[in-house]
Amino acid sequence: MGKISSWAQLLHKNVLPLYGIAHDFGHFPSLVTPWVNEGSLNDYIASHHLSLRSKLDLAKQVVAGLGYLHAHSVVHGDLTGLNILVDRQGRAQLSDFGVMSLLAEIPTLAQPSGGTRSAVRWTDPRLFEMREGEINPCIPTEQTDIYSFGSILLQVRCIISS
């Protein structure tokens, strides 16, 4: 289980730790992580009266976590404000990175169809371009993660303005 064991080995304050996998919660396995009290970045910003400086600090934390993943050759591949969780101390933590490819490693799980993505709005459009001879062009990269981060910044700006 390469990617699952890789995630379990990662240790950074802005990356949600993975403790393991539970198979006793229905048809699909569940990833076991710490409970994060404040919810997603979207919910946290919308429900707290944060200064612009605090919001930018959260963005810097996301960059730190993403930089750590990339330094360890891990591509998030599904970066959205919903996959960034905020803990009780107000610290942003990246979660659910590479979940589709992680789930594909579990032999008893029915495989999702190729190219399935849950965050189309935040996804670099180049991931949807078909080139002649390609079977599945939807392979996320560090560059597509950066595109998604830019989309999150635009979303945070909208939340800041409202």
CA–chain centroid gap for 85, Å, is 9
Residues taking part in catalysis: 78
Tell me the one-letter amino acid at 32. V
